[in-house]
Amino acid sequence: MRKDGRETDQLRPVKIVPGFVQLPAGSALIEMGKTRVICTASVEDRLPRWLHQAQLKSSEKSGWITAEYSILPGAGPSRTPREATLGRKSGRTYEIQRLIGRSFRAVVDLKKLGSRTVWIDCDVIQADGGTRAAAVTGGFVALMEALTALKRDGLITEIPVKEYLAAVSVGIRGGEVLLDLDYAEDNTVDVDCNVVMTESGELIEIQGTGEKKTFSREQLMEMLDYAGNAIKELIVLQRETLKEIRSNNHGNRGGQS
């Protein structure tokens, strides 16, 4: 039994509040246990310069989805300085925001997005493990809300999402697989892994590291099985949340699991 009483394959309580910020095209607050992340989706009618230049020489046109990620100073027990005051982003920040952007681009038909960029901004307001997984899972809801708004306004003809996706952390401690690690567990596991997966079970990303010990192929498959089952649960919650957005015209009551 884990410290919080969960089974080894059990998610922390998850809640998604859609429309949490009114002004962006899409937004959501996601809570996974004590971890809380505000995700917003903003649309710009322009492309990154490098992509615009590349498309000038090509007949193929497409949009772009990218992400930024940050941990706010008061997200943990001790203050974390803003990276802007340090003059640079950390390697961890770059890694996470690239993960988020790659994940969404993997399930969106960018050609149907038009010559525009969707920015997904994920700000961690409370960190207790699994922040990147929460950012991907909540960010997808914000993205879907923004794409729905584009279709409603006649700017795109269809929502160009090929599949839903979500993410979760998983690890191994003392030979036992644990799902959805909180901060204390993340610091003590022998193996740490983050999994991004689509609704059909296709893998987008596996970030797995033997922090203290090696792990076997069989253990990797067990971690992926845990992650796959959890991601199915998270996608059900995403669908319920997005259905609620449609029925309540961007109401602010969240789905809960």
Quick check: helix, strand or coil at residue 61?
coil
Contact call for residues 59 and 114 (beta carbons, < 8 A): no
Return the residue matching tokens 């772009």: 64
Full set of structural domains in the chain with CATH: 14-249 (3.30.230.70)
Structure tokens at 226: 């845990």
Q: Give 244's pLDDT tier (boundaries 50, 70, 90).
A: confident
Task: Of 65, 35, 33, give the one whose Cα is nearest residue 165.
Answer: 65
The string of pLDDT tens digits covering residues 97-106 is 999 999 999 9
The string of pLDDT tens digits covering residues 171-210 is 999 999 999 999 999 999 999 999 999 999 999 999 999 9
Please report the sign of the dihedral spanned by the C-alpha atoms of residue 43, residue 44, residue 45, residue 47: negative
How far is it, in rounded angstroms, from Cα 119 to Cα 67?
5
Q: Give 257's pLDDT tier (boundaries 50, 70, 90).
A: low
Q: What is the pTM for the complete model shown?
A: 0.93
Contacts of 173 (CB under 8 A, 6+ apart): 185, 188, 189, 190
Q: Which of the pair, 88 or 57, is modelled with greater confidence?
A: 88
What value does the mean pLDDT take over residues 52-56? Answer: 87
Task: Give pLDDT, residue 248.
Answer: 63
Give the count of beta carbons closer than 10 Å to the beta carbon of residue 251: 13
Task: Give pLDDT, residue 56.
Answer: 84
Contacts of 256 (CB under 8 A, 6+ apart): 13, 14, 15, 16, 237
What's the first-to-final CA gap in the chain, in angstroms? 21
Task: Give pLDDT, residue 69.
Answer: 97
Task: Give pLDDT, residue 247.
Answer: 63
Task: Of 94, 120, 92, give the one whose Cα is nearest residue 105.
Answer: 120
What value does the mean pLDDT take over residues 141-159? Answer: 96
Structure tokens at 220: 């990797």
